Structure 1
Amino acid sequence: LKIAFNERKTIIIVGNCWVEYHGRASSKLQPGERIVIIKEDGSVLVHRSRGYEPVNWQPSGCAFQVYRDRGSLVIKAIKRRPHEIVTMFFDRIYLLSVLKLIDEGEFSLYASEEDMQKAILLEPSIIEDGFKPIDYEKKVEPGFIDVYGVDKNGRMVVIEIKRRTAGKDAVLQLAKYIEALKPIVSREIRGILAAPQISREARKLLTSLGLDFKRVDPKKCSEILRRTEDKKIIDFLK
C-alpha cells in the first residue's frame, strides 16, 4: 500500500472499518462493512452498501499515512489547508485492489430541451435563415409554446422542441398549439417540430397536417450555449 500511495495509484478496499474525522468539526463512524476508494489525485470516498453519496470523504490533494496498529490496518488521509484528517481503521479486508487507471475520455453532457430552446433563441438560424423569435413559453389554451416567432415571409411560426426522437404525441401537441392560435392571429401560421430525429409514423402525421420538421442536434445546441454564455436571451428578442 505504501508503494501504491507513493505511485499515486487508485486503491479500492472493501472491508469492515470504522472512521474518525477531525478538522473543522469532528465525527466518528461506527464499524461496518464499507467500500473505500482512494483516487490517484489524493481524494478519498467512504461508501456504505447503499446510497450514492459517501458517508465520509476528503477532497483531492491529501497526503497519506498507512500503518498497522494492534492488528488493524490504519490509513490516514491528511488535508493540510484547512487541516483535516480522516482516519480509517480496518480489522477485516475482503478485497484490496491497486490499479493504474487510464482515462483520457472527454465527458460531454448534451443539451436539455430547455438548453435547446435557449440555443434557438440565441441563434435562430439553426431553425432556418430569416427566422426571428418573438417570445418563448408563450401561454395558450393547451399549454406553453416553446418558441414563437416570424419567418422571413412574415408568417407566424410555432416551434415544439423535443430532445429525443419526436413521436406522434409531439406532432399532435404542435397541432393543438396552432389551432389555439388561429382565432387570435390574422396571418398564416407555420408549425415546426424541432428534434434530433422523428419517427416514421410521426413524420407521416406531420406531413398530413402540413407541418414541418427541422433536425436540431442537442450537441450543436450545447456548442452554441458555450459560445454565447455571456449573452442574455432578452438581447435577441429586441
Structure 2
Amino acid sequence: PVNWQPPGCLFSVSATNNALQIRAIRRKPAESVKISFDNVYQVSVLSLVDKGEFSLYASEEDMQRAILLKPSLLEEGFKPITYEKRVEPGFVDIYGIDKNGRFVVVEIKRKPAGRKAALQLAKYVDSVRSMVNREVRGVLVAPNMARGVQRLLATLGLDFKALDPKKCASILIKPEVKRLVDFFEDKGK
C-alpha cells in the first residue's frame, strides 16, 4: 500500500522490541501515521516520480463526463450536443439544448466559481449567439459561488447550477443501469 505524505512532513525510523517502526508527522493540520513491521524481507530506496493530479473527488473533466452520462444533473430535459466546442474565445465545456429548445452553453468549475468564470461564460454565450438564430442560455456549474458572483450572473443574464464533484464521482464509479423496459418507456415520452 501507498500512503502519500505532503512536503514538510517529518519522518523517524526506529527499531524496538524486534520491530521496525516508521512514523510520519505533519504539523498543519496536526496528524501522524505510525507503521510497525514485525518482519522485514526487503528494503528498497527508490526515487519516485508522481506526475498524477491528486483529487479526492472529481476533476472538471470528470464532472463534464458525469453530465454527459447523466444530463439531468444539469436539469431535466437537457440534451447535450457536443463538448469542448470551439468558439472564438476558447472551448465550451458542454453545448446542448434545454427542454424549451434553447441552446445551452455550460461552463464547469470544480471549485467555487468566481468572477472570472462568469465573465468567461458570458463571452462564450455571446460568441454562440453570434453564430445561431435561436435563444442561447449560459449555465455556470460549480459546487458553489464566490461572493458577488450571483449578482454578476444575474446582471449578465446567466444561470447557476450547484453540482457537487462527489456526486459526479459516484456517477462515474457506478453508472446507472437501465432495464430494457425502462429504456423503451423513456423513448416513448
TM-score, structure 1 normalization: 0.55
In structure 2, do the counterparts of structure 1 residues 4 and 145 end up closer, same or farther at CA, with 3 Å as the change threshold? Answer: farther
In structure 2, do the counterparts of structure 1 residues 39 and 186 end up closer, same or farther at CA, with 3 Å as the change threshold? Answer: same
SS where residue 185 of structure 1 aligns?
coil
Question: What is the aligned residue count?
Answer: 146
Q: Which 4+ stretches in 1 moved above 6 angstroms?
A: none
**Alignment pair present for 1:39 and 2:35:** yes
In structure 2, do the counterparts of structure 1 residues 228 and 186 end up closer, same or farther at CA, with 3 Å as the change threshold? Answer: same
- In structure 2, the residue matched to 1:224 is 171
- In structure 2, the residue matched to 1:11 is 21
- Give 1:137-216 correspondences, 5 Å limit: 137-216=84-163
Percent sequence identity over aligned pairs: 55
- Give 1:57-206 correspondences, 5 Å limit: 64=39, 77-78=40-41, 85-86=42-43, 109-206=56-153
Give the C-alpha shift of residue 183 in structure 1: 2.0
Q: Which has the larger radius of gyration?
A: 1
SS where residue 144 of structure 1 aligns?
strand
In structure 2, do the counterparts of structure 1 residues 191 and 38 end up closer, same or farther at CA, with 3 Å as the change threshold? Answer: closer
User: Equivalents in 1 of 2:43, 2:89: separation in Å?
Assistant: 56
Higher helix share: 2
- In structure 1, the residue matched to 2:6 is none
Higher strand share: 1
- In structure 2, the residue matched to 1:73 is none
SS where residue 145 of structure 1 aligns?
strand
User: Equivalents in 1 of 2:35, 2:131: separation in Å?
Assistant: 61
In structure 1, what residue type is equivalent to 2:98? D
In structure 2, do the counterparts of structure 1 residues 167 and 87 end up closer, same or farther at CA, with 3 Å as the change threshold? Answer: closer
User: Equivalents in 2 of 1:191, 1:4: separation in Å?
Assistant: 65
Give the C-alpha shift of residue 109 in structure 1: 1.4
Structure 2, unmatched stretches of 5+, are 1-14, 24-32, 46-54, 178-189
CA RMSD of aligned residues (A): 2.8
In structure 2, what residue type is equivalent to 1:149? G
- In structure 2, the residue matched to 1:45 is none
